[in-house]
Amino acid sequence: MIGKETLEEAKQAIINYDKEKAVQLTEKVISDGVDPLEIMNNGFIPGINEVGDLFGRGVLFLPELVQCADVMKTVTDIINNALPSQENAEEKGSMVIATVKGDVHDIGKCIVVALLQANGYTVYDLGRDVDTDRIIEEAVKVEADIIGTSALLTTTMTRQKELEEALKSIGLRDKFKTIVGGAPVTGRWAAKIGADAYAEDAQDAVLKVKELLAS
Partner 1 sequence: MLRNLFAGKLQSGGLSVNIFTDDELEQIHFATIEVLKKTGLFIGSKEAREVLDGGGAIVDEKTKTVKFPPYLVEDAIRSAPSKVLLAGRDPKHDIVLESNRVGFTNFGEGVFVIDPYTGERRETTKQDVADSARIVDYLDQIDVYERAVGASDVPEQTMQLHNAEAWLPNTTKHGFMGTGNGYLTRKIFDMAAAIVGGKDALRERPILSTITCPISPLQLVDESCEIIMESAKAGIMVNVLSMAMAGGSSPVTLAGTLVDHNAEVLGGLVLNQLTAKGAPFMYGSSTTAMDLRFAAATVGCPECAMINAAVAQMARYYLLPSWVAGG
Point out which residues bind partner 1 (CB under 8 A): 58, 61-63, 104-105, 107-108, 111, 154-155, 158, 184, 201-202
Which residue number, 41 or 186, has a Cβ lying nearer to partner 1? 186
Which residue number, 107 or 191, has a Cβ lying nearer to partner 1? 107
Least distance from partner 1 to the Cβ atom of residue 33, Å: 42
Closest CA to 98 of 86, 90, 110: 110
Mark out the alpha helices in 19-157 (DSSP H runs): 19-31, 36-39, 45-56, 62-82, 107-118, 132-142
Report the C-alpha gap between 159 and 29 in whole angstroms.
47
Least distance from partner 1 to the Cβ atom of residue 118, Å: 16
Which residue number, 81 or 187, has a Cβ lying nearer to partner 1? 187
Which residue number, 3 or 63, has a Cβ lying nearer to partner 1? 63
Which residue number, 38 or 129, has a Cβ lying nearer to partner 1? 129
Least distance from partner 1 to the Cβ atom of residue 36, Å: 32
Report the C-alpha gap between 144 and 140 in whole angstroms.
7
Least distance from partner 1 to the Cβ atom of residue 208, Å: 17
Closest CA to 103 of 155, 162, 167: 155
Angle at 62 between CA 176 and CA 198, to 5 degrees: 25
Least distance from partner 1 to the Cβ atom of residue 174, Å: 27
The total number of residues shown for the chain amounts to: 215
